[in-house]
Amino acid sequence: MNLSFRINSNIDSNRVASLIGLRNGQLWDLLFSAAVWGSVLIVAMVFLWLVGDVLIRGVSAVSWDFLVSPVIDSGRSGGIAPVLVSTACIVAVALAVAFPLALASAILIAEFLPRTGTVSRLVVASFDVLAGMPSIVFGLFGNALFNQLLGFGYSLLSGGLTLACMVLPFMIKANVDGLRAVPRSYREAGDALAMSRTSTLWHVLLPAALPGIIAGVLLGMGRALAETAALLFTSGYVTRMPESLMDSGRTISIHIYDLAMNVAGGDRMAYASALILVVLLILINTAVVRLGDWIQRRSLRA
């Protein structure tokens, strides 16, 4: 990889450099800086294009009515109220199941396991694989386990449980980071007061790590909101207002996909839904970044 950066002198570049009156090194410096600025320009332009596209095409269809009306005519008209409710249900199930598990694993990893021990490395490696696993594979797993074996069928419950598996590694990582940022002195103070590890954890560490824990929940929420592929064959994509967790329902991501791919004349509403989703995710992301900065500042101070 670094090979390309090492090539810095050959005959041709010498000749070119001397032609335009530069030392050879200066020519490469110039080219390198141009590449840096050029890349940034490309990235900035594509970013503006992408976000501007969603904003401009989406904003005209977004209104209060859009948020509170049912889906009519496959989504060509009406709004996305049932979609928002289904999304909330699926995300709630996912977080309710994943949160306790993630917190427990994070506490064990951060507080009880030696950081470089074999167990710890194995556990972390398994989380890395889980984090990198294609979402469609989670979908297949969820379909086989929740929809068929456990008999939940196409339902918000199946979708939520599948997403719980998917967001676990991300929530664990955020929780571990939060716990590790708590200064060592907190634990020593607990020990000095002869508190049991349980009560140190309960009364000192967890409250102190709360920003990291909240960041973990938000991160999991963001992942869950953005997911589509894992839900196609677990929660299904009925457009109506769900009445229980056993009903099928579609999340906003699936709604965007369906409008874009399967509904002639659905682009406008797809963009409107995309705008809502992107705004939600940016808000969540901003909160995560703020909490992250806060954690970092504190661990630096300690």
For another protein, the binding residues in 139-198 under the rule CB under 8 A are 139-141, 143-145, 147-148, 151, 153-155, 157, 165, 168, 172, 196-198
Task: Decide whether 79 or 253 has the Cβ nearer to another protein.
Answer: 253
Q: How near is the Cβ of 37 to another protein at its closest, in Å? A: 7
Q: Is there binding between residue 56 and another protein (CB under 8 A)?
A: no
Residues 287, 294: Cα–Cα separation, whole Å: 11
Taking CB under 8 A as the binding criterion, the range among 11-19, 80-88, 177-185, 256-264 that sits at the site for another protein is 256-264
Nearest distance in Å: CB 64, another protein: 23
- Taking the complex as a whole, the smallest distance from the CB of residue 11 to another protein amounts, in Å, to 19
- Please identify, using beta-carbon distances, which residue of 3 and 11 lies nearer to another protein: 3
Asked if 10 interacts with another protein (CB under 8 A), we say no
How many CB atoms are closer than 10 A to CB 269? 27
Looking at residues 110 to 139 of the shown chain, list those that interact with another protein (rule: CB under 8 A): 112, 122-123, 125-130, 132-139
Nearest distance from C-beta of residue 19 to another protein, angstroms: 20
* Widest CA span in the chain: 77
Here the tokens at position 145 are: 């386990």
Cα-flanking dihedrals φ and ψ of residue 71, to 5°?
A: -75, 120
Q: Which alpha helices (H) appear in the chain, and where do they start and end?
A: 3-6, 11-19, 24-59, 64-68, 81-107, 118-132, 135-142, 156-180, 184-192, 197-200, 206-226, 229-232, 252-262, 267-301
On the 0-12 / 13-18 / 19+ scale of CB atoms within 10 A, 245 is middle
CA atoms of 52 and 161, how far apart (whole Å): 35
Q: Segment contacting another protein (CB under 8 A): 13-21, 182-190, 273-281, 294-302? A: 273-281
User: By rule CB under 8 A, what string of x and - marks binding of each residue 74-113 to another protein?
Assistant: x-x------------x--xx--xx-xxxx-xx-xxx--x-
Residue 72 binds another protein (CB under 8 A)? no
